[in-house]
């Protein structure tokens, strides 16, 4: 590639990236995961579209797809609210293991007994289509104000279910499942998940201490340090211990996201941008890899049948079995079942049998590609309506206050930037009525274009922004109190509202 050709590639790449960024606004309005637009762009740029780009390297797509999924998991872990995920982590883990196993079994039986496929292809179809996609779940559900524990369970599941399915698809594609047996495979999955999660926890814990003590010369170096640590967790777990790198990197990212690291907000913004770039590149690449000219009506019918099997029968059965010990109401089970969005993960997993040269792997890829397009288009826009019908919306969402945190390391304190939304019950409350923990100070109120230092009698208004300085040991207590007053008003304590999420 000479300089002239490089210039053309950069121009084309910049145009594609800009169109993809602008398309985010359109998909947000429609309630669709952005993957649909990006996959469509890949199809247009591919050999069957006006772009005429010829791309059929399944092994390269497999490798780049895994790299993109790692970045997406890093962003998901860093931005996940730990207080939402922690109570439902057991449910997420069961959904990611037992739930996936149930779904794989249902789809495999349908593919074998109804479609007449071999057991290898049937199990591959089940394993490829059963996991939910982190990018789709994170992008859609964070725009739907559902109850925190539902969002937490779905995010935990999507972050953890990549590990067992990647292992299953790889072993089935290489023919090793029959050699190992079910018990050996189950033990291998448990080993990879448990040891991978423990390794990720160790890397995260050690890294938090190191990053807090490092005095880097630029604020822009901290996001790079966090990304490097996360990739070390993924690659180190895979190479050194032969465990699930996906489980390791997700747990490491959860630990890093929960810690009070220097320049925390800048790090999240940086990783968010990199994750968007990874999503765009991943989906466009998968669109390039697809060949619409190869699609047949039979593939569409098979995709519909498998989609119904995995989305309706398999998913509802897996959620019912997984949620039984947790006594979830049927409404919440129904929403979790329908909100198990498929996205890039099934398509990336479908590149594994392609790369291994499994017979009819191209047909599996085509069926999975069509399935993802059809059912994402069906499920994504329906989630807000379904959440309302099932009455699983978070009643406190309209009263929720927005809080950003910036550490003041030399003072042993944190600065909280608090925005008062229009429906918040903070409006009308005096500063003194907040009853914040000892040592906490509301240092500044920004109202419109004016900023002033408040006193105890200052009355807060909607659309105010506050700067609150809190000693680090009581920061979480301060956040809980502000959220409590935002939901229940000045008498929040009398009504038993302590700032905990409502379920």
Written in H, E and C, the secondary structure of 10-55 is: HHHHHHHHHHHHHHHHHHHHHCCCCHHHHHHHHHHHECCCCCCECC
C-beta atoms surrounding 227 within 10 Å:
21
Report the pLDDT value the prediction gives residue 163, as an integer from 0 to 100. Answer: 80
| pLDDT(478) > 60 | yes
pLDDT at 407 over 70: no
Nearest to 289 by CA among 356, 376, 351, 373: 351
Mean pLDDT of all residues in 289-298: 79
Confidence of residue 32 (pLDDT cuts 50, 70, 90): low
Among 30-44, 76-90, 132-146, the range with the most confident prediction by mean pLDDT is 76-90
Residue ranges, comma separated, of all CATH 3.30.70.1450 domains in the chain are 399-488
pLDDT at 173 over 50: yes
Q: Which CATH number applies to 399-488: 3.30.70.1450, 3.30.70.360, 3.40.50.12160, 3.40.30.10? A: 3.30.70.1450
- Picking from 32, 29, 279, the residue whose alpha carbon sits closest to that of residue 135 is 279
In the prediction, which pLDDT does 274 show? Answer: 92
- Going 137 to 143 to 146 to 149, the CA torsion angle's sign is positive
Average pLDDT, the chain: 85
Count, in order, helices (H) and strands (E) of the chain.
19, 5
DSSP structure class, residue 97: I
Rounded CA separation 15/199 (Å): 40
The third-level CATH classification (topology) of the domain covering 7-48+57-389 is: Na+/H+ antiporter like fold (1.20.1530)
* pLDDT average, residue stretch 151-176: 85
Ranking 129-138, 181-190, 290-299, 390-399 by mean pLDDT, the lowest is 390-399
Residues 6 or more apart whose Cβ sits within 8 Å of residue 408 = 414, 415, 469
Task: Give the range among 162-171, 236-245, 436-445, 486-495 with minimum mean pLDDT.
Answer: 486-495
The single-letter DSSP state of residue 444 is: E
Mean pLDDT over 181-210 rounds to 87
Q: pLDDT digits over 229-258, tens only? A: 999 999 999 999 888 898 899 899 999 988
Helix (H, G, I), strand (E, B) or coil at 460: coil
Average pLDDT score over residue span 124-147: 81
Mean pLDDT of 28-55: 78
Q: What local confidence, expressed as pLDDT, does residue 465 receive?
A: 92
Phi, psi of 46, rounded to the nearest 5 degrees? -75, -175
Is residue 285 scored above 50 in pLDDT? yes
Residues of the chain with CATH 1.20.1530.20: 7-48+57-389
Instruction: Give me the mean pLDDT over the 78-100 stretch.
Output: 86
Alpha carbons 354 and 129: distance in angstroms, whole number: 15
Most confident of 191-195, 252-256, 499-503: 252-256
Provide the CB-side half-sphere exposure for 331 (13 A, CA): 11
Task: Say which range, 70-84, 296-310, 320-334, has the weakest mean pLDDT.
Answer: 70-84
Higher pLDDT residue, 408 or 205?
Answer: 205
44 touches 23 (CB < 8 A): no
d(CA 335, CA 149): 12
Higher pLDDT, 238 or 34: 238
Average pLDDT of the segment spanning 345-361: 89
Residue-wise burial string across 244-282, b where 16 or more C-beta atoms lie within 10 A, e elsewhere: bbbbbbbbbbbbbbbbebbbbeebbebbeebbbebbbbb
Tokens of 446: 């920004």
Band of pLDDT at residue 491, cut at 50, 70 and 90 = confident
pLDDT the model gives residue 94: 92
pLDDT at 445 exceeding the cut of 90: yes
**The predicted structure's pLDDT at residue 300:** 87
Q: Give strand pairing partners of 419.
A: 402, 465
Per-residue exposure over 323-354, b if at least 16 CB sit within 10 Å of its own CB, e if not: beeeebeeebbbbbbbbbbbbbbbbbbbbbbb
Position 498 pLDDT exceeds 60: no
Decide if pLDDT at 272 tops 60. yes
pLDDT for 402 beyond 70: no
Higher pLDDT among residues 217 and 44, named by residue: 44
Residue 32 CB partners (closer than 8 Å, separation 6+)? 140, 376, 377, 380, 381
pLDDT tops 60 at residue 462: yes
Between CA 347 and CA 66 the distance in angstroms is: 11
Q: What is the DSSP string of 296-326?
A: -HHHHHHHHHHHHIIIIIIHHHHHHHHHGGG
Q: Report, as an integer, the average pLDDT of 132-156.
A: 79
Does the pLDDT at position 419 exceed 50? Answer: yes
The predicted structure's pLDDT at residue 398 = 54
Over range 359-385, report the average pLDDT.
87
When pLDDT is cut at 50, 70 and 90, the band that residue 395 belongs to is low
The pLDDT score that the predictor gives to residue 142 is 66
- Average pLDDT for residues 148-154, to the nearest whole number? 86
Nearest to 417 by CA among 324, 485, 482: 482
pLDDT of residue 325: 92
**Percentage of residues in the chain with pLDDT exceeding 90?**
32
Of the candidate ranges 32-36, 297-301, 367-371, the one whose mean pLDDT is the lowest:
32-36
């Amino acid at each position: 590639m000479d300089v002239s050709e490089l210039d053309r590639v950069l121009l084309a790449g910049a145009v594609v990236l800009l169109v993809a960024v602008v398309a985010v606004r359109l998909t947000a309005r429609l309630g669709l995961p952005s993957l649909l637009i990006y996959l469509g762009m890949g199809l247009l740029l591919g050999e069957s579209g006006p772009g005429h780009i010829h791309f059929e390297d399944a092994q390269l797509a497999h490798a780049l797809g895994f790299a993109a999924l790692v970045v997406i998991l890093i962003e998901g872990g860093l931005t996940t609210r730990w207080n939402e995920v922690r109570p439902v982590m057991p449910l997420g883990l069961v959904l990611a293991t037992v739930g996936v196993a149930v779904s794989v079994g249902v789809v495999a039986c349908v593919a074998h007994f109804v479609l007449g496929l071999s057991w290898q292809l049937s199990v591959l179809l089940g394993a490829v289509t059963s996991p939910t996609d982190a990018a789709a779940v994170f992008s859609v559900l964070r725009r739907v104000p559902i109850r925190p524990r539902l969002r937490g369970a779905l995010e935990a599941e999507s972050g953890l279910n990549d590990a067992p399915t990647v292992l299953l698809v790889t072993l089935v594609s290489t023919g090793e499942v029959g050699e190992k047996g079910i018990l050996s495979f189950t033990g291998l999955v448990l080993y990879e998940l448990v040891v991978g999660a423990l390794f990720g926890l160790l890397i995260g814990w050690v890294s938090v201490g190191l990053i807090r003590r490092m005095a880097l010369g630029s604020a822009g170096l901290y996001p790079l340090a966090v990304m490097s640590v996360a990739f070390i967790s993924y690659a180190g777990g895979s190479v050194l211990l032969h465990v699930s790198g996906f489980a390791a990197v997700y747990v490491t990212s959860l630990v890093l996201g929960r810690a009070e690291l220097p320049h925390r907000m800048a790090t999240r913004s940086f990783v968010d941008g990199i994750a968007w770039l990874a999503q765009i590149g991943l989906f466009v690449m998968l669109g390039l890899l697809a060949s619409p000219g190869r699609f047949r009506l039979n593939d569409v019918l098979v995709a519909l049948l498998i989609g119904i099997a995995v989305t309706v029968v398999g998913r509802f059965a897996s959620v019912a079995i997984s949620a039984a010990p947790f006594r979830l109401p049927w409404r919440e089970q129904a929403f979790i079942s329908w909100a198990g969005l498929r996205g890039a993960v099934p398509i990336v997993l479908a590149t594994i049998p392609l790369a291994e040269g499994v017979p009819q792997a191209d047909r599996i890829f085509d069926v999975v590609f069509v399935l993802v397009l059809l059912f994402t288009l069906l499920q994504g826009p329906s989630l807000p309506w379904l959440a309302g019908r099932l009455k699983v919306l978070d009643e406190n969402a309209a009263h929720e206050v927005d809080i950003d945190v910036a550490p003041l390391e030399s003072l042993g304190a944190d600065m909280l930037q608090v925005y008062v939304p229009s429906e918040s019950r903070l409006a009308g409350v005096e500063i003194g009525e907040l009853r914040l923990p000892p040592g906490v100070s509301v240092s500044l109120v920004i109202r419109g274009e004016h900023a002033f230092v408040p006193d105890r009698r200052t009355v807060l208004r909607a659309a105010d922004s506050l700067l609150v300085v809190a000693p680090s040991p009581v920061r979480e207590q301060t956040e809980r109190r502000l959220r409590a007053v935002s939901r229940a008003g000045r008498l929040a304590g009398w009504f038993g509202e302590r700032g905990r999420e409502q379920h």
